[in-house]
Structure 1
């Protein structure tokens, strides 16, 4: 059998929507989602700081999982996009076109 296919951004947005839609509360307000995003970014920042910065964790503190922190950020970002009716695949394509045009000669090619 072949390798399983990776979900598309549309798949990700649909899966998050199915998950959120099973609860009466639905998506949080935009302000709450942004605050949650900042909270998750802070958790990722703390892990990066402990791992790569001068302030190491105390021996009693457990190691965090940076991949899971990224996943939390992704989940909140998808919630925000869904709540606002944004298509992340379209946004990604537009953003890449901007970077590929704006930064075309900015970096040293390999």
Structure 2
């Protein structure tokens, strides 16, 4: 299934809106995001690094950790009334301008016409 950022934000908001507690505070969401990024780092280290899992540890997919990060980022953006599409567009505009000549382009790329 494919979701737009608007679909993701609405689905998360529909879920969170069921509960009286609502969204966590920005500081709590930041702590939760840090925790989730740490879990992703741990999975990456187990799969690609020099630290294998203990035989008693559950195998968690990198995809699961990325999904958790998307959920927390969406909670963060919803709680602050930030449109993820707008935030992404601002970021890509900055990156595409600032970094356009930073790396070697592949042949047949944008500037090879």
Q: How does 1:71-82 map to 2 (within 5 A)?
A: 71-82=67-78
Q: TM-score, normalised by structure 1?
A: 0.92
- Are positions 1:53 and 2:66 aligned together? no
For the residues of structure 1 that align with 2:3 and 2:55, how far apart are their CA atoms?
38
Residue of structure 2 equivalent to 1:91:
87
**Stretches (4+) displaced over 6 A:** none
CA-atom RMSD, angstroms? 1.0
Structure 1: stretches of 5+ with no match in the other structure: none
Residue of structure 2 equivalent to 1:9:
5
Structure 2: stretches of 5+ with no match in the other structure: 107-113
Aligned residues: 106
Q: Give CA-to-partner distance per residue, 1:65-103, whole Å, 9 cap, x none.
A: 110100000000000000001011001011101010000
- Are positions 1:32 and 2:42 aligned together? no
Q: TM-score, normalised by structure 2?
A: 0.89
